[in-house]
Structure 1
């Protein structure tokens, strides 16, 4: 942390640390103490400063690769990978936003006293039934069979995350649906995330589980499209007519149905929406690259 940032950090209740893994080893150690013990050791020496930090959000354009960053990476409980826009309609909205006046953002504020009460009293008071403990143990065993090992620290901290999920939903006890947040906790590399997600959804969300199975079909079709690069338009058209079009259309209809069923049952639609975005993106590629359709016409059809 620089002098200016450290001065701000010692008084912050919520901190944002950008490019956290680009710090020097010394700075990483200071940051680790700041996040773990809520203590900052001044660079110029002197007494350690106790910080009122409640939580921190970090960001990075790269994942850690060395032992010097492993400890701090393990302290980052929730991990969310943000990729480029895949859904053509979202990308179109991005392009339009460059030439239109953005709407004023909607702001949500929370009083500091209310936040402290939630963190120290309300969330810890949420009940964790034995059935949830059994489900977490089942999940851990399933991931170990796939050689995905999370530290005991992460498993213990994840219980608080489950309690927070239930609290934010206004419930006095953790339910199976809260387990879905663990898809953002129990992986180290992005390549592991789909496996973690599938194992979690086996327990809690049959709709999303089927959506991920449809995602395999969609990814296979995109791989086939990549492999056919350079082939004639006639060969590509034949592939679309005989295979790609029907499979993508069937996947799209089933995803719509799954989303409707999940929404009606009050289950999360996040995974289904993500797969739907991939289906739309692959369908757009098929229509433009294989059939030669104009991009604006494709957008209208999507």
Structure 2
């Protein structure tokens, strides 16, 4: 018997579709609130409708009541002056006579299956505590007794968001939230076309019993939540923190339960990424945040825990940077015997590390002093000649300006200053007169030869990564092929999401195609890297 309770009614999906469509009879642009109300009831959660008066908020709750049998209904408009008796029933006179503080709850909220509480945030402190217990635990403290209630779901309504910390707990009790506005310009003619009160007539066989609900809720607990959905929820939690959207831990757990119910009622044994469309109606504290959550989800639709395109792009970018480092790496070349090679004056390789070149000082070339050169220094008798005995100037050489200050003995014209010596240019051009020094040649560089094991390891990892991306591409193409049917057949996702979801998946497909091209170029790049020569055994 216990095993049978783990399975929902075999015709559940068909019955729910009939219920959903029947509840929408005569309603214009109220598809989302009706879907959310029915799903909330199935999951044992509550729905909050935010919007101006006259937008069919109470009608949604009344329609929801028709989905269950047997079921009692309670409706009340709260004000700041509402007293507990209006919600929970009057005090029992007989009980007071017997010193018991008890309420007569028949026909009031503690005996209701479906309830509609309008202007719920007008609830005062006298009502609030009992209401929180009833919403969360489905129990009501009646005098000394805590009584179980038949409550399936409450539809709360308000024209405005709650103000004051004392209402935060009440706001958090409503897992599903929906902003309801006036009918749009496009839907207005349809609204005017209805005549009289259009009610929903639901066949008895479609309505859900207490047993049906118990089976659904028990079976939903066994629905698997795959890694890609867990990863999406984890990413959404981080995003909410960054956006300043506060979501309690209790709320996240309830979200998972809701997604499990959505999957079960669609005939699946695991939660789908498409079920997560519902997140936009669970994760907001202000109506404007719903669109942000929707856009975030739309961009993530079709991704998975391990194959998130943004993550894959980062991985491929890291690989490309690694390949570029290997390609740009340079090492000093060696000849066949293993000798280091250097670059000669013509840019060709040589084993000679150094060569003799004209020395320089401060960027100026240095020379040797001419033979028989001397200096002239003025004194009391005219000039004194000092012969240059060391042509190298103690190894430091002469700059051109220093040479120009010397005097050279010219056999035909006598002593001439170097700067005016007829053989000056020829002397400077003759490298035999240059002061030379040994200069190290620059190393002859070549692309670094990578170890064969390094190249093989990189190619192996790239092959594995490409295989994962190709598997993901296959899953993505399957998503794209079945997208329209999956969403249009989904009980809770509205069909208008098919088009943006298709755009998102197509954009993801293009990203994946680009990644595969980049992986192909990476493989080619690593295959072309120079490899170390194998040593002879």
Shorter-chain TM-score tier:
0.5 to 0.7
C-alpha contact (below 8 Å) 2:487/2:498 kept by paired residues? no
Higher helix share: 1
Q: Aligned partners of 2:116, 2:171: CA distance in 1, in Å?
A: 15
The equivalent position to 1:40 in structure 2, one of 126, 130, 140, is: 140
Following the alignment from structure 1 to structure 2, what is the Cα–Cα distance between the partners of residues 11 and 116?
18
Does structure 1 residue 137 correspond to structure 2 residue 222? no
Paired residues of 2:274 and 2:487 also in contact (CA < 8 A): no
Task: Give 1:33 shift.
Answer: 1.2
Is the contact made by 1:143 and 1:199 (CA closer than 8 Å) also made in structure 2?
A: no
1: CA distance, partners of 2:177 / 2:190: 26
Scaled by the length of structure 1, what TM-score is found? 0.64
**Counterpart-to-counterpart distance in 2, 1:91 and 1:176:** 34
What residue ranges of structure 1 are gaps of 5+ in the alignment? 207-260, 276-302
Shift of 1:141: 1.6
Asked if residue 113 in structure 1 is aligned to residue 211 in structure 2, the reply is: yes
Partner SS state of residue 111, structure 2: coil
Distance 1:85 1:273 in 2: 22
Return closer, same or farther for 1:112/1:80 CA change in 2, 3 Å cut-off: same
Superposition pairs of residues 212-231 of structure 1, within 5 angstroms: none
Contact 1:16 1:56 in 2 (8 A): yes
Q: Distance in 2 between matches of 1:176 and 1:58?
A: 28
Superposed displacement of residue 4, structure 1: 5.7
Displacement of 1:272: 4.9
* 1:101-147 deviation digits (Å, cap 9, x = unpaired): 4544232511221112212x111111111221111111212222222
Partner of 2:372: none
Q: Distance in 2 between matches of 1:115 and 1:144?
A: 35
Determine the structure 2 residue equivalent to 1:24: 124
Q: Note closer, same or farther for the CA distance 1:270–1:145 as it changes in structure 2 (3 Å cut).
A: farther
Q: What is the CA–CA distance in structure 2 between the aligned matches of 1:199 and 1:271, rounded to whole Å?
A: 17
Kept after mapping to 2: 8 A contact 1:262/1:269: no
Q: Say if 1:18 and 1:59, in contact at 8 Å, map to a contact too.
A: yes
Partner in structure 1 of residue 366 of structure 2: none
**1:60 corresponds to:** 158
Counterparts of residues 63-212 of structure 1 (less than 5 Å) = 63-88=161-186, 90-97=187-194, 100-107=195-202, 108-119=206-217, 121-204=218-301
Q: Deviations over 1:251-277 (max 9, x none)?
A: xxxxxxxxxx963563644555999xx
- The structure with the largest strand share of the pair is 2
TM-score computed with the length of structure 2 as normaliser: 0.37
Matched with 2:519 is none
- SS across alignment from 2:274: helix
The structure with the largest alpha-carbon Rg is: 2
CA distance in 2, matches of 1:274, 1:58: 32
Residues 16-49 of structure 1, C-alpha deviations (whole Å, 9 max, x = no match): 322211111220121011112222234xx44332
How far apart, in 2, do the equivalents of 1:194 and 1:137 lie? Answer: 19
Tell me by how many angstroms 1:9 deviates.
2.3
Alpha-carbon distance between aligned partners in 2 of 1:23 and 1:179, rounded to the nearest angstrom: 32
CA contact (8 A) 1:81 1:190 kept: yes
Q: Verify the 8 A CA contact 1:263 1:269 in the aligned structure 2.
A: no
Secondary structure, counterpart of 2:191 in structure 1 = helix
Equivalent in the alignment of 1:3:
85
Q: Taking structure 1 as reference, are residues 75 and 95 closer, same or farther at Cα in structure 2, changes over 3 Å only?
A: same
Q: Residues 284 and 290 of structure 2 are in contact (CA less than 8 Å); yes or no, is this contact kept in structure 1?
A: yes
Partner of 1:263: 484
Q: Secondary structure, in 3 states, of the residue corresponding to 2:179?
A: coil
**Maintained 8 Å contact 2:274/2:301:** yes
Native 8 Å contact 1:19 1:59 kept in 2:
yes
- Secondary structure of 1:48's counterpart equals strand
What SS is found at the alignment partner of 1:86? Answer: coil
Q: Higher mean Cα deviation, 4-13 or 29-38? A: 4-13
Q: Counterparts in 2 of 1:214-293, with a 5 A limit?
A: 263-264=484-485, 266=487, 268-269=493-494, 272=497
Unaligned ranges ≥5, structure 2: 1-82, 89-104, 304-481, 501-537
